[in-house]
Chain A
Amino acid sequence: MIHLSAPDLAIASSLVLMLALLSWRMHLGLQQQLLIAGLRTVIQLVLVGLVLKALFEQLHPLWLIPVSMLMLLAAGREVIARQSKRLAGGYVVGTGAMFISSFAITVLALLVVVQPAPWYQPQYAIPLLGMMLGNTMTGIAVGMERLLKTTHDEKDVIEQRLMLGHTPAEAIRSPMRDAARAGMIPIINAMAAAGIVSLPGMMTGQILAGSPPMEAVKYQILIMFMISAGTGFGTLIALRLTANRLFDEAARLRLDRLTS
């Protein structure tokens, strides 16, 4: 493995600084967000690196529980932060859907496919879960955002259908389909383009770190399918729960549960 040195990373970070400079010169107003995001990348990844090092080498496996919960709650917060319309109870919906799909699929992959001994070995469990959460989070955030926005914009059509005696599921069918597509299209595209348009990030990382290409490919296929399933199931669960919150027990549309 070729080790990266501090100057190597400094060169990479200077690229982001140059981008920020360009944004400032072009009056795009993105420089502050760019710099903060870049700084967060460094701090968060270094901290995670330290935590992983400790987890892999010394700590008791029980530490997996608080660490994975922390990851989940942080991802839940990100989902909500990306909503232009906030749904009362949306944090629970988004985080709950992410928990069900990400954890179930990670555990399945560990127990059935990867099979490290013991199965919860942090070296495997944490990166897999992280990758699942990161992708599921995006699908759920995009899907929920689209559903809430479309429902808000198409309120009159949805209520018109309710007036004709349609069920909430029928009334909200078109916004649901839209939202499911928005949440799942990126991962479908990623699967379709994998290896042709781009080498997926994890595989690239593994190859750069010295793994044989076919090993990296096998892991990448595994990860790709897990991520697709996790994102898909997570998005559909989140959308179903969100739709349920948008109607009350008398099948009335409850946009008063939304805040901007």
Chain B
Amino acid sequence: MTTLFSVRNLTLPTGQHVSMHLGRGEIHGLTGPSGTGKTRLLRALANLDEVSADLRLHHKPLGNYQATEWRRRVMLVPTDSRWWLPTAAEHMHKDMHDAAEKLGLTPARMHAPVTQLSTGEKARCALLRALSYEPEVLLLDEPTAALDHENVHAVEALIKGFSRDHAVLWITHDELQAERVADHRWQLTASQLIRVH
């Protein structure tokens, strides 16, 4: 498997050392107790916080990319999405009609005021928005935490499809979900990042 994205010698503010490689076509599941720094890790990988680390995409270091280009290619989808235009549809970078349908989002919901969407609908729209920018690496912070059973499976199927040509790092609290979706599994404890298998 060719390495698409790698991080080496990253020390989180919580003290753990992180080195990992994400290959094209891989989903990496990251679990661990709350407060150990999982979200911090994703923020560092998206270069949203200042940390010293060797981050590479296509073997080229972070410094070779414009900051905005890096984040567009290595895209973080946070747990709580934010919106600044009236409807979800207006936030999409390109037409996402087909993917929206797979996630059970009708055109009517996509064009409804964001304030009228449920937490679960917003979570799915946020994922769609990220995909509409065509990133190469997706960093997902509990994308299905607010979803019901049926939608969890729809999101998992969509991400699995996306991961065929890309790489995904997926934070989840659900061990069964990690089993289902991840090709590789990691656990972040208070002291270290452990490769589970």
Interface on A for B, CB 8 Å cutoff? 156-157, 159-167, 174, 248-253
Contacts and interface: CB of A to CB of B under 8 A. Distances in A.
A162 B75 CA distance: 10
A131 to B, nearest CB: 39
13 contacts: A162-B68, A163-B75, A163-B76, A164-B93, A164-B130, A164-B133, A165-B68, A165-B71, A167-B68, A250-B47, A250-B50, A251-B67, A251-B68
Contact of A164 (B47, B49, B71, B80): B71
A156 B77 CA distance: 12
A167 B82 CA distance: 16
Main SS of the interface on chain B? loop
Nearest to A253: B48
Interface residues of B, number: 24
B130 A157 contact: no
Nearest to B66: A251
Given A165-B71, A248-B50, 7 more contacts: A156-B80, A163-B71, A165-B73, A165-B133, A174-B84, A251-B68, A252-B47
A165 B84 CA distance: 15
Given A248-B50, A252-B48, A164 B75 contact: yes
B82 A157 contact: yes
Nearest to A252: B48
A174 B85 CA distance: 11
B34 interface: no
Contact of A156 (B47, B50, B82): B82
B98 interface: no
Pick the most buried of A156, A157, A159, A164: most chain B CB atoms within 10 A of its CB: A164
Contact of A163 (B48, B50, B69, B83): B48
Contacts of B48: 159, 162-163, 252-253
Nearest to A157: B82
A249 B68 CA distance: 11
A164 B70 CA distance: 10
Interface string B124-137: 00000110010000
Interface string B69-98: 101110111101111100000000100000
A251 B69 CA distance: 11
Contacts of A248: 50
